[in-house]
Amino acid sequence: MPRIRQLASVALMAALCAMLISRGSAQQVAPPAAQPAESKAKAELVSQLIATAEEARKQAQELYRAGQGTVQEVHVWTMRLADARLLAAKDKKSRIEILTARVTAAEEMEKDATGRLTMGLVRHIDAIDARFARIQAQIDLANEEAK
């Protein structure tokens, strides 16, 4: 289990670095002739990113339900999936829909983790992590709505 957490932490840091790098490069303006090809290539990469995050989130949820995964792993992959979908979002309405879905998923996860805690199936820290994920998702949604 500690090895999985280490790998999840390393993967999270790599994803954050990649996200920061992509945000920095997104601010650079390519020559007009190169933009369509770059846009198509970027769209394909975003599509691959979404598919990868969906696959990992599904696996994290399955492992959690089987008692082999953690709330943190589900939380991390839920965030990554939302972040990937936000990269593809074309407008504020789409971003709000994505973030609303993330809030709903976090609320369900918190309810599940709290129930599992009362049955002794998860640690208290897992229920706290689920609560943190829900609050974080709600803040992200509120920030987007305020823009």
Would you give per-residue pLDDT tens digits along the chain (147 residues)?
444 444 444 344 444 444 433 443 343 334 445 557 779 999 999 999 999 999 999 999 999 999 999 999 999 999 999 999 999 999 999 999 999 999 999 999 999 999 999 999 999 999 999 999 999 999 999 999 999
Q: Which of 130, 145, 131 is nearest to 99 (CA)?
A: 145
Domain spans in the chain, listed from the N-terminal domain onward: 43-146
CB of 91 within 8 A of CB of 67? Answer: no
- C-alpha of 119 from chain center: 27
